[in-house]
Each structure stands twice: as structure tokens, then as C-alpha cells.
């Protein structure tokens, strides 16, 4: 059943509340660390946070994979399947997560099989993440070396362990979160996220003020993530009774029957992760090109513009978070017209929002940069309009990303972002090395790549796919989790 259409505004507001709580919470925690513990601890906090954040990739895209496949499994047309049986095309076809007891004696619905498989995968991936997180104190201390303050890198190690384990706990909470999302409880899930961020800030303020060391920050985030896990499990259990916990109740033979479902989840999730890794082909690689092809000071000119770009892109995060589960449910139910409305209205809204915000930032940039960095940075302001072009166009593509993943079109999505990333690198190099366009050449390469993917390919592919689904309704049923 589709979530009530009237709840869209509530869901979007809750999603932006969660985004705002995360950004605002980080700002408050950063201020507390800097003011209470000093510049050295502040530097350690940012270094550890950015490094430990790589643990997010241990989730292997499980969250969007579960949202898509749970929505598909709950569809009344779940008897259709993308998998070709051994009997040939004329033989009956069923989803890999169709009802089965797997030899365990208790029949499981398609949704229960997907949830059980995802729950077990989350546990296994969390064990790997936890082992990495528990060793984080060693490599963190090695990274800091024998600092003048011996206790600094000891507490930095504790911070790394705490932050790492908090990421692991959030991974464990992804399966119950997916249950909430596909049941139309998007607002509730985001309110729980916002509450977790606020709790982490309150604990940091209380504990850092009382104990005065960096390890307390990691402990605060760990406690907040543990609270989020418990809250999501309870909420999901109340939303869909009998589903949460299935993965831990199955016997060994039944667990073996879930391997095809886990393979499908990983096939979808790994491609999503590859698409996320394509982000490194933009500003990180651009910085490398600038440092090798231009002068080091150009990195300092470009960096503030990139941070402004990243800040503006958070404006569309809330909308894309809401549209992913809604699209998955609508597409699995065969409602292509609703998916079309989600895409067109979401793209227009995100483009208008980003365009207005970009114009405001450009007009206020002298004041913003002076307040932020102590000077108005005329060199940065000279290239800022170009950066804001790909901010608006690329940001509008966030809706397209949510729609494509919701429809299960993960292969074309991943191929497009990887192709665009490679194009950005090649064009930026050519424009600087052979045309001598300097920093503007770097930015122009990004603009061309982003416009080609988000401004041309994504609208064409999404609308063409929806048109085909409407022309052949049978084809719009459940599709392979990694279909193209």
C-alpha cells in the first residue's frame, strides 16, 4: 500500500530537521571541542572524524538495497521475477525471495525473507566494522606519532573507537529503518535520527565540560547511536509485528535458503557504493590536479568554493531521502504516473531552491567570506559563479539519483556517475595542460561532466524508462535489483 500522499510535506520537513540537526550538531560539537580542549584537540577531532568516516562504506549500500527490495517484496505482483530459472523462459518464474521455509518448517513471506537476509547481512558487516573500529586506537596513535602531549593521541584513539562503533551501530539500525521507510513512516525515522544527533550534542556538552578529554566525544556519539538502534528496532516492531528479528530466529537450514536474497542485496548495494566512490573523482582529484598542474595557492583559492558547494548541496538531501522509499513503493506497485510526478516536481523544486540559494550566496559572498575566513577572498569570488553552476545542476540530479535507485536502476546509475567522474578528470586535465585555462579549466571540466549526467542523461533516461513502463504495464512490475 502506498504511503498517504498528504504526508509528503511532513516527511520532507522531518528529513530537513534531521539534516539540520546533523549539521548544527557538528557545529556545536566543534565549538565545544575548540573552546574547552584547544586547537590541538580540535585538529585531532577533525582528522579522526574524517578518517573514521570511511567505515560508512562497510555498509555496502545495504540501506537503499533493503528499501528497494522490501518495497518490491511487499508488492502484490511479487510473483513476477527477474531471474531466469533452469527450466527455460517458459518455466514459472519467482523472485529469489518468494515465500519459502528453506527447510526450516516456518514459511516466510517475501518481505520476511528480505528482512531476515538483510538483518543477517547487517550483523556480519557490523562485525567486520567493529573489528576495524576496535583497532582504530592503534592506527590513530600511530598517525599522531609521539606528540608533545602524550595524552592527546591516547584520547584521539578513544575518540576513533567511539566514533567507529557509533557508525557500526547505525549500520545495525538500517534494517529496522528500512521497515519504517517502506511503511510510510519516513517522518518518524527522520525524527529518531534528529533526536539521536541532539542527544549526542547534549552528551558532548555535559561530558566534555565535566571530564575535559577528547575520548568523551566518541563515547557520546556511541551512546546516541545505541539509543537510535533501540528506538528504530522498537518502532519497526510496532509498525510491522513479527518481521523484526526474523534473521536471528532462523535455523541453519533456513539461513542457507536466504543466500540468493543476500546475493541480490549485495549486488544492488555494492553498485550503490561504487557510485558513491565516484565522488572522489570530483573535488579530491581536482585538488590533486591543481597541485600538480598549477600552484599550491590555487588549492587555497578553490577550497572555500568547494566547501560552499558542499554546504548548498545539503539543501536537497532531505528531499532525496524522502523520495527514495516513496519511489520504491510506487514503482513496485506499478504506479509510474506517481513516480513521474515525484521526479518532475522534485527536480523543479530542488533546482529552484538551489538556484535561489546560489544567487544569495553569490551576492553575499564578500560578507560571508570575510566573516568566515577574515577576508573577502576576491580570487575565490572570481571563480565562485562557475562553481555555483555545477552546484545547481548537479544538486538537481540528487532527485534523479533517488528515483533511479527507487526504481531499481542501479546499474545505469552507477555507470553514469562513474563515466561522468572520469570525464571530469580527463577534461579538467586537458583544459589545464593543453589549453592553459588554469583553475577555470578545472571547474569547466566539472561543469561539462555534471551537466551531461544530471542535466541531460538523467532526465532522458528516467522519463524514457517511465514511458516504457506505461506503454507495457507488465514490464513495470518487480525488476532485478541490479537491472538496467
Residue 1, Cβ density class (10 Å: 0-12 exposed, 13-18 middle, ≥19 buried): exposed
CB 66 within 8 A of CB 178: yes
Whole-number Å distance between alpha carbons of 45 and 39: 10
User: For residue 108, what are the β-bridge partners?
Assistant: 100
User: Which sign, positive or negative, has the C-alpha torsion 23, 279, 322, 234?
Assistant: negative
Cα–Cα distance, 462 to 466 (Å, whole number):
6
Please, what is the Cα angle at 28 between 24 and 30, to 5 degrees?
A: 115
Longest dimension (CA), the chain: 73
Taking the C-alpha atoms of residue 218 and residue 203, their distance in angstroms, rounded to an integer, is: 10
CA atoms within 13 A of residue 252's CA, in its CB half-sphere: 0
Helix axis angle for 215-239 and 186-211, nearest 10°, is 160
What's the pLDDT at 344? 92
The one-character DSSP state at 3 is: P
Tell me how far apart the terminal alpha carbons of the chain are, to the nearest angstrom. 25
| Separation CA 399–CA 380 (nearest Å) | 29
**3-state DSSP assignment of residue 100:** strand
CA atoms of 141 and 154, how far apart (whole Å)? 6
The separation between CA 279 and the C-alpha centre of its own chain, rounded to angstroms, equals 12
For residue 100, what are the β-bridge partners? 108
Q: At 47, list the grid cell.
A: 582528522
Pair 272, 410: CB distance under 8 Å: yes
Residue 321: name the closest of 40, 48, 101, 17 by CA: 17
pLDDT value of residue 302: 86
Closest residue by Cα to residue 124 from 70, 55, 172, 179: 172
Cell of 303: 577550497
> What are the C-alpha distances in Å from 319 to residues 46, 70, 257?
28, 21, 37
The SS3 of residue 342 is helix
CA distance 177 to 189: 7
Residue 421 CA to residue 418 CA, distance in Å, equals: 5
d(CA 282, CA 288): 10
Instruction: Tell me the C-alpha distance between 247 and 265, whole Å.
Output: 15
Block means of pLDDT (10 residues each) for the chain, length 484 residues? 59 86 82 76 72 79 85 61 42 46 56 80 84 67 47 65 87 89 88 93 83 80 93 88 60 67 84 82 82 82 83 84 87 86 92 93 90 81 92 89 89 92 93 92 94 93 85 49 51
pTM of the model: 0.77
**Helix, strand, coil percent content, the chain, rounded in steps of 5:** 80, 0, 20
What integer pLDDT is reported at residue 478 of this predicted model? 44
Distance separating alpha carbons of residues 155 and 141, to the nearest angstrom: 9
Contacts of 466 (CB under 8 A, 6+ apart): 336, 339, 340, 343
**Residue located via cell numbers 530466529:** 249
Which helix H or strand E contains 267, and what residues bound it?
helix 259-277
CA distance linking residue 365 with residue 268, whole number of Å: 41
- The count of other CB atoms within 10 Å of the CB of residue 452 is 17
**What is the C-alpha separation between 72 and 86, in angstroms, rounded?**
23
The 10 Å Cβ neighbour count of residue 242 is: 9
Among residues 327, 305, 318, 255, which one has the least CA distance to residue 108?
255
Residue 377 three-state SS = coil
Strand locations in 311-415 (E): none
Amino acid at each position: 500500500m502506498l504511503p498517504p500522499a498528504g504526508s509528503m510535506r511532513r516527511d520532507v520537513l522531518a528529513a530537513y530537521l534531521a539534516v539540520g540537526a546533523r549539521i548544527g550538531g557538528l557545529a556545536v560539537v566543534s565549538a565545544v571541542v575548540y573552546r574547552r580542549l584547544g586547537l590541538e584537540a580540535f585538529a585531532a577531532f577533525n582528522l579522526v572524524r574524517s578518517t573514521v568516516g570511511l567505515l560508512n562504506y562497510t555498509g555496502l549500500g545495504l540501506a537503499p538495497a533493503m528499501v528497494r527490495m522490501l518495497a518490491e517484496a511487499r508488492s502484490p505482483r511479487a510473483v513476477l521475477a527477474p531471474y531466469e530459472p533452469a527450466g527455460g523462459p517458459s518455466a514459472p518464474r519467482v523472485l529469489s525471495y518468494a515465500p519459502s521455509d528453506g527447510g526450516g518448517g516456518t514459511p516466510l513471506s517475501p518481505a520476511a525473507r528480505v528482512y531476515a537476509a538483510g538483518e543477517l547481512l547487517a550483523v556480519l558487516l557490523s562485525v567486520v566494522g567493529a573489528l576495524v573500529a576496535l583497532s582504530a586506537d592503534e592506527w590513530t596513535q600511530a598517525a599522531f606519532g609521539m606528540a608533545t602531549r602524550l595524552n592527546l593521541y591516547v584520547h584521539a584513539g578513544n575518540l576513533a573507537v567511539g566514533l567507529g562503533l557509533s557508525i557500526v551501530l547505525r549500520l545495525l539500525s538500517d534494517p529496522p529503518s528500512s521497515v519504517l521507510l517502506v511503511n510510510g513512516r519516513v517522518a518518524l525515522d527522520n525524527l529518531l535520527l534528529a533526536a539521536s544527533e541532539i542527544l549526542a550534542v547534549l552528551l558532548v556538552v555535559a561530558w566534555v565540560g565535566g571530564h575535559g578529554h577528547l575520548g568523551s566525544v566518541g563515547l557520546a556519539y556511541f551512546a546516541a547511536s545505541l539509543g537510535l538502534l533501540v528506538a528504530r528496532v522498537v518502532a519497526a516492531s510496532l509498525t510491522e509485528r513479527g518481521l523484526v528479528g526474523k534473521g536471528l530466529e532462523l535455523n541453519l537450514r533456513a539461513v542457507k535458503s536466504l543466500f540468493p536474497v543476500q546475493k541480490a542485496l549485495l549486488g544492488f548495494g555494492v553498485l550503490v557504493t561504487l557510485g558513491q566512490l565516484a565522488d572522489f573523482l570530483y573535488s579530491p582529484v581536482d585538488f590533486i590536479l591543481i597541485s600538480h598542474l598549477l600552484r599550491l595557492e590555487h588549492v587555497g583559492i578553490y577550497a572555500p568554493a568547494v566547501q560552499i558547494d558542499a554546504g548548498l548541496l545539503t539543501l536537497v538531501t532531505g528531499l532525496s531521502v524522502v523520495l527514495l522509499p516513496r519511489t520504491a513503493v510506487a514503482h513496485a506497485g506499478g504506479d509510474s504516473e506517481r513516480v513521474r510526478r515525484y521526479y518532475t516536481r522534485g527536480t523543479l523544486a530542488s533546482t529552484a531552491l538551489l538556484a535561489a540559494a546560489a544567487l544569495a550566496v553569490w551576492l553575499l559572498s564578500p560578507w560571508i567570506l570575510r566573516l568566515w575566513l577574515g577576508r573577502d577572498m576576491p580570487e575565490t569570488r572570481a571563480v565562485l559563479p562557475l562553481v555555483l553552476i555545477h552546484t545547481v545542476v548537479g544538486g538537481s540530479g540528487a532527485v534523479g539519483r533517488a528515483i533511479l535507485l527507487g526504481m531499481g536502476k542501479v546499474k545505469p546509475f552507477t555507470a553514469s556517475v562513474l563515466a561522468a567522474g572520469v570525464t571530469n578528470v580527463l577534461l579538467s586535465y586537458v583544459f589545464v595542460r593543453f589549453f592553459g585555462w588554469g583553475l577555470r579549466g578545472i571547474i569547466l571540466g566539472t561543469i561539462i561532466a555534471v551537466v551531461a549526467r544530471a542535466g541531460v542523461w538523467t532526465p532522458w533516461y528516467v522519463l524514457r524508462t517511465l514511458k516504457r513502463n506505461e506503454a507495457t504495464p507488465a514490464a513495470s512490475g518487480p525488476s532485478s535489483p541490479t537491472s538496467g
